[in-house]
Structure 1
């Protein structure tokens, strides 16, 4: 594991790099939730699954978290910082590798919003917050619908943030539990590993 610090237009970001044991067929960037960090159990499980599929992983810590703030930055700042991190890592660490964007909750939203501009070949969403709890009218489903590349959504069956719908290029896998996705972590690893292997095979 290697740690990197990256300057962005909105402050210093950090990335924790986990290399696949046998080379790398792609690189997966994973972002954290609004109030959480990169040590979230589902992010760790997804990292394990991705590296097993031969994919390098960068767990990305947004500048507001590096600066010690709990409240997330505005969406535009999150997206700009994320793309700056992706550019840096692509140039210095993951040269010539296809990029997969991903994250949990708020980090999943960032991955979806930036997938096209960042030229991601796929997106992995853990606990995508379709709407605030109890407010289904305030839907974020359009952020998912706008993603033009294959997308995996791993969602808790009883997640109060709602449940995304499947689409022709979007797989939704339901897991026991809520928004934390702390149950059946080995299954999350397997799901991410198998999905990435299938999606990346045509690019190998």
Structure 2
């Protein structure tokens, strides 16, 4: 389905569990030039569904429009808040968790307190542009505090690796870069117990 936002239409793919109501609502989004078909996002989706959560994969307006760069952060964040507001109406009274990979993780962190998320899943959080550690985005990663953030990054990520003190949990997958070619079982093993806190009957 499509959701109209101030930045243009977004597309959402909703997966519902068999249990009603769902244990929680997990909203995930993609990186700058990618899509919601990234395997790490799908692994997190499947883990959440197994725990009885509803999962929404969001294609943000700039990608629906065919652009690879997200543009201004304030415009991107405002559209995200609008998307979450509509989804909350569909899943009333259900705990919200949000997240994404790379740029999507940044959006999830920046908006977590505004939308009153219970937690954030940050896949391949881009701590800084490649080769420019002085341009740290650590403040974005810390923005959700005291909301819990679980970070999963590859050990060879050129965008940097967050420090363990920067999030509730930081997990590093050996041998992986910014886009994962392996380690998907480890991603599932990391997010499953982290999501289970919202999946109690």
Q: Same fold (TM over 0.5)?
A: yes
Alpha-carbon shift at residue 74 of structure 1 (Å)? 1.3
- Write out the 4+ residue segments of structure 1 that deviate beyond 4 Å after TM superposition: none
**Residue of 140, 143, 167 corresponding to 1:143:** 140
Indicate conservation of the 8 Å contact 1:43/1:103, yes or no: yes
Residue 69 and residue 168 in structure 1: after superposition, are their counterparts in 2 closer, same or farther (change >3 A)?
closer
CA contact (8 A) 1:42 1:182 kept: no
Aligned length: 198
User: Do 2:142 and 2:166's aligned partners in 1 also have CA atoms closer than 8 Å?
Assistant: no
Q: Which residue of 2 aligns with 1:98?
A: 95
CA shift in 2, pair 1:169/1:105, >3 Å: closer
Is 2:194 the counterpart of 1:195?
yes
Rounded Cα–Cα distance in structure 2 between residues aligned with 1:46 and 1:164: 20
- 1:8 Cα deviation after fit: 0.4
Aligned to 2:67: 69
Is the 1:105–1:125 Cα contact (8 Å) retained in structure 2? yes
1:134 alignment partner, one of 112, 122, 131: 131
Partner SS state of residue 107, structure 2: helix
User: Structure 1 pair 14/77, CA: closer, same or farther in 2 (3 Å)?
Assistant: same
Counterparts of 1:114-193 in structure 2 under 5 Å?
A: 114-148=111-145, 149-167=147-165, 170-176=168-174, 177-193=176-192
1:13 aligns with 2:42: no
Comparing 154-163 with 181-190, greater Cα deviation is found at: 181-190
Contact kept? 2:108, 2:120, Cα under 8 Å: yes
Gaps of at least 5 residues in structure 2 are: none
Residue range with higher mean Cα deviation, 169-178 or 27-36: 169-178
- Report the TM-score, using the length of structure 2 for normalisation: 0.93
| RMSD (CA atoms) | 1.5
> How far did residue 169 of structure 1 move?
5.6
**CA distance in structure 2 between the partners assigned to 1:84 and 1:101 by the alignment:** 14
Contact 2:141 2:167 in 1 (8 A): no
| 2:152–2:170 Cα contact (<8 Å) kept | yes
Q: TM-score normalised to the size of structure 1?
A: 0.92
